Structure 1
Amino acid sequence: MKRRKVGNLLALAILSTLVERPMHPYEMASVLKARGKDRDMGIKWGSFYTVVRNLGKHGFIEAVESSRDGARPERTVYRITDVGRDELLDWLRELLAELAPEETKFVAGLSVMAWLGPDEVITLFRARLMALDEEIERFRVGLARLLEEIPRLVLLEAEYQLAMRMAEAEWVRSILGELTSGSMPGLTDWRTFHETGVLPADVAELAERGSTTS
């Protein structure tokens, strides 16, 4: 992935909004919220004006006019520049075509999951699966309702999110099956470790090897 001058995904959201027409920051934020982009891109609104300033600093957007309505703060209207439009299109091509590692909290938990016992993990996975199934059903209903009014083309990100949640649920369900049936490789050693506190020999060897090479 390319290192960008303004790499916050909020910058991408702002550029994609200004490509339609010039707007002032409050209007940009309102449009993004109305379209659910804060959910799609994990937007942190506290950095909104900083990102706007940085986009201006690097020439991706420019101020076209300022106005004041009574005692309200001055509002500056921005438009996207040719450089900004090129940045938007290049960024979109990269995001859609190239793979990028996504470090999620769930992935982080999985990476050190073995410190919990198998029975507790089964309980936790069952709780996660129940939450996933409930979320998927809500998502399905909401997406179906939106599709009655909005073209599918502008809802593909929601469709993708639903597909990813469904895939995650299927994976969690399969791991639960292995854990509860006892078919998961290494399950006996994992259970023994939590009963005795002694690492299996092969795991201890790997841990020792890692400590001597770091």
Structure 2
Amino acid sequence: MVKRRKVGSLLALAVLSVVAQRPMHAYEMASVLRSRGKDQDMAIKWGSLYTVVHNLARHGLLREAGSDRQGGRPERTVYEITEEGRAELADWTRELLSDPEEAPRRFEAGLSVMAGLPPEEVTALLRRRLDALQDLIAAQREALERDTGGLPRLFVLESEYGLAMREAEAAWTRALLDELAGGTFPRLEEWRAFHGTGRLPADVAELAEGGRVTD
């Protein structure tokens, strides 16, 4: 079941995911998120960014960590994530990865931030999701056979499509689980080590900082 969040937009999830790595001001958050293509993973309304950041701070998920002034630019408030914010990020990611609740792009959003959880937990969450998907597929297939008997196919195409999309998602999730369980997922050990040391490999850290604002 989808939980009600203190700040419920997926932009809030994206903000928490980048500030979890280091403190930054709102303009820098937007730059990093764009550089990582987060607007391709989830619906982001950039005009709402400052409101979302303020709401996250108001609910204790972010806090002010100082200010930054570069050149002749106005002073900008730098935010860092709180322990409550880290807990919210992890819980939200778990929900998005494990729950096949129908909502646009929720699973893509969860995949885009899943590095914040260790691979063993991601594997368990995806198995839970796959079990739920298989139950939904069985029920959907039964309903399609029972409720559309005798109707011309022209009038049941949307039901066929919905079933096919869910089956495709299950197949993709199963393949990803095979990679994780079999140890063939690229750089799996580095992902696992990150959750022990808190340090990304140098090349990954450099890529992750691709949107860092320095001017």
TM-score (normalised: structure 1): 0.50
Task: Quote the residue 2:205 is aligned against.
Answer: 204
Equivalent residue runs for 1:117-196 within 5 Å: 117-196=118-197
Q: Deviations over 1:154-180 (max 9, x none)?
A: 110110010000000000000000000
Report the secondary structure of 1:211's partner residue: coil
Distance (whole Å) between structure 2 residues aligned to residue 213 and residue 166 of structure 1: 46
Task: Quote the residue 2:106 is aligned against.
Answer: 105
Distance (whole Å) between structure 1 residues aligned to residue 127 and residue 214 of structure 2: 38
Q: Deviations over 1:110-144 (max 9, x none)?
A: 11110011000000000000000000000000000
Task: Quote the residue 2:44 is aligned against.
Answer: none
Task: Quote the residue 2:116 is aligned against.
Answer: 115
Distance (whole Å) between structure 2 residues aligned to residue 208 and residue 114 of structure 1: 15
Task: Quote the residue 2:87 is aligned against.
Answer: none
Task: Sort the Cα spacing of 1:213 and 1:182 in 2 relative to 1 into closer, same or farther, 3 A.
Answer: farther
Percent of matched pairs sharing the same residue: 55
Question: For structure 1, which runs of at least 5 residues remain unmatched after alignment?
Answer: 1-101
Task: Sort the Cα spacing of 1:139 and 1:186 in 2 relative to 1 into closer, same or farther, 3 A.
Answer: same
Distance (whole Å) between structure 2 residues aligned to residue 163 and residue 145 of structure 1: 17
Q: Choose between structure 1 and 2 for higher RCO, CA contacts under 8 A separated by at least 6 residues.
A: 2
Distance (whole Å) between structure 2 residues aligned to residue 172 and residue 180 of structure 1: 12
The alpha carbon displacement at 1:151 in A equals 2.1
The alpha carbon displacement at 1:208 in A equals 2.1
4+ aligned runs moved over 4 Å, structure 1: none
Distance (whole Å) between structure 2 residues aligned to residue 142 and residue 174 of structure 1: 27
TM-score (normalised: structure 2): 0.50
Larger Rg: 1
Distance (whole Å) between structure 1 residues aligned to residue 132 and residue 189 of structure 2: 28
Structure 1 or 2: larger helix share?
1
Report the secondary structure of 1:210's partner residue: coil
Task: Sort the Cα spacing of 1:103 and 1:147 in 2 relative to 1 into closer, same or farther, 3 A.
Answer: closer
Distance (whole Å) between structure 2 residues aligned to residue 130 and residue 213 of structure 1: 46
**1:136 is aligned with what amino acid?**
I
Distance (whole Å) between structure 2 residues aligned to residue 120 and residue 153 of structure 1: 43
